[in-house]
Amino acid sequence: MAAFLASKASMAGLSAKPVHRARVASARAAPARLASRRGPLQVSAKKTEGGPIVAIAGVTGAVGQEFLTVLSQRDFPYGEMKMLSSARSAGKKFEWEGETYTIEELTEESLEGVDIALFSAGGSISKKFGPVCMEKGVIMVDNSSAFRMTEGVPLVIPEVNPEAMAHVRWGKGKGQKGAIIANPNCSTIIALMAVTPIHKKATVKRMVVSTYQAASGAGAAAMAELETQMREVLDGKPPTTTIFGRQYAFNLFSHNSGVDLATGYNEEELKLVKETAKIWNTKDVAITATCVRVPTMRAHAESINLELVDELSEADAKEILSKAPGITIVDDRVKNDFPTPLGVSNKDNVHVGRIRQDISQKGQRGIELFVCGDQIRKGAAQNAVQIAEALL
């Protein structure tokens, strides 16, 4: 525990080590197939006497499973672990780190005695159990949109704004106060990991983002359906369209979130706009976004155009990004090698490339970036676990 606490100040992602994902005895076939591709090594999280009691709410989902993978790979010290899910999954046997767990139904009683709860069970569930966590002295780290824009709830990317949660700490005992810390939306996390170091140096005046978002953003069922559709279309069969109501394989479409009829912006685009303003604690940056769903499995890509207040050269931008925590530069013009969703899948760091001056802007006040990040990992589970680490 002491060794972990001594090193936790570094918020940069650690190099991923292959690890088996925890297995639910009756998990659906398609997600189980995806999980089986992880590799042969088993890495143990640190079960530590006196460590926090941790609960995973929504443990059978894609992000819930990734929580466990990341906890293992980062050697997170825990005293006890509770696996929570819906009544439908309650009673299933669950193997993780050499122990067999029985999944419990997420109820008020199941949160009794928990210190830190990692939630990825959907916004309505988070809204129901957020007040329960506060009352019971549980620190909820929530991956849904339920509390992101709630005043007083920190919206945190540890590499970007750790100060927002500085007042929240694991209290180790009955004196701990309950709290909610929100994980930003995946596209926001991936964008701000790359843009914030530049913003701190040259101040972003305007940011234009176009996203190319993977199936994982819609959950394990969407990932499974994309895989199914690929086979069906190649076999000349009508594709199964349960999740999105349309063909996803070999296609792309405007993000499937609801569209504001007055402005034409969808919810995903507005999340990026509003969350960036909250995380940066400013209303002075003009932000616009276009979000698109593309048929990749688990990593998002983003094209980002920045208009800056101060001049910044391409070389200086690369130098800044090369020193930024959680960033890997992939930018080889000779080989035409730049970030790809496949290249960043199952990786901790966000990959940044196509770093260049915007030739449409005068002077050196425009920078272009192409960014990729694993949506399930840094875009969700890893960010939440890093928040949990900062609580210790």
Query: Active-site residues: which are they?
Result: 186, 300
β-sheet bridge partners, residue 204: 308
Under a CB-based contact definition with an 8 Å cutoff, are residues 154 and 269 in contact?
no
Closest CA to 193 of 314, 82, 304: 304
User: HEC string of 185-219?
Assistant: CHHHHHHHHHHHHHHHHHCEEEEEEEEEECHHHHC
Residue count of the chain, please give it: 392
Contacts 24+ apart (CB under 8 A), 89-97: 89/24, 89/59, 89/60, 92/24, 92/25, 92/26, 92/60, 93/24, 93/25, 94/22, 94/23, 94/24, 94/25, 94/59, 95/22, 95/23, 96/22, 96/68, 97/42, 97/44, 97/45, 97/47, 97/72
CB 284 within 8 A of CB 221: no
Q: With 0-12 CB in 10 A as exposed, 13-18 as middle and 19+ as buried, what is 283?
A: exposed
Q: Helix, strand, or coil here: 55?
A: strand
Rounded to whole angstroms, the Cα distance separating 43 from 18 reads 8
CB 28 within 8 A of CB 36: no
